[in-house]
């Protein structure tokens, strides 16, 4: 990606970890529900800002991951925020298709601690085999 130095200033203000990554939390822009957490590098954040959609860095595949490129469940950006320590990115998104999780659920945070057990609180909206 070729951009001018001045357009990269916002990237320089993020405190990237030793691997050049920062955690990114995707939150539903309308309901406030936390949908997922993923990682971003400089290129992912720059492209997300440029394209208006969530683009992450896949640590397992070692490549950019355009959310929804396989599933169709794209995250359109409503806003990008940086926390007070400048080391966590918050993406307010509009989740197309209503599914953010690879398990076919609305949110990756679908288990709640009840006593000493994790209880699944969200239904599968679509079989992952039909998505991927």
3 state SS of 125: coil
Token pair of 129, please?
A: 């085999």
Closest to 46 measured CA to CA, from 95, 75, 94, 89:
89
Q: Which domain holds residue 77?
A: 5-131
Over 75-115, what HEC string results? EEEEEEEECCCCCCEEEEEEEHHHCCCCCCCCCCCCEEEEC
Q: What pLDDT score does 123 carry?
A: 96
- Say which DSSP state 53 is in: B
Tens of pLDDT along the chain (132 residues)?
A: 444 445 679 999 999 999 999 999 999 999 999 999 999 999 999 999 999 999 999 999 999 999 999 899 999 999 999 999 999 999 999 999 999 999 999 999 999 999 999 999 999 999 999 987
Cβ neighbours of residue 104 closer than 8 Å, sequence gap 6 or more: 124, 125, 126, 127, 128, 130, 131
And the tokens for 84? Answer: 């007070």
Distance CA 12, CA 10 (A): 5
| pLDDT score, position 99 | 96
Q: Give the pLDDT of residue 92.
A: 98
Question: Residue 97 burial (CB < 10 Å; 0-12/13-18/19+)?
Answer: middle
Tell me the CATH number at 54: 3.10.20.810
Number of domains forming the structure of the chain = 1
């Amino acid at each position: 990606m070729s951009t001018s130095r001045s357009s990269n200033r916002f990237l320089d203000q993020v405190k990237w970890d030793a691997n050049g990554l920062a955690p990114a939390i995707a939150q539903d822009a309308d309901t406030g529900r936390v949908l997922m957490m993923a990682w971003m590098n400089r290129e992912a954040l720059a492209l997300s800002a440029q394209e208006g959609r969530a683009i992450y860095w896949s640590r397992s595949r070692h490549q950019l991951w355009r959310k929804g490129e396989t599933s169709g469940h794209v995250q359109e950006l409503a806003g990008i925020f940086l926390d007070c320590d400048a080391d966590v990115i918050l993406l307010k998104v509009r989740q197309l298709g209503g599914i953010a999780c690879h398990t076919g659920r609305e949110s990756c945070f679908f288990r709640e601690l009840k006593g000493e057990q994790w209880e699944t609180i969200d239904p599968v909206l679509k079989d992952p085999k039909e998505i991927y």
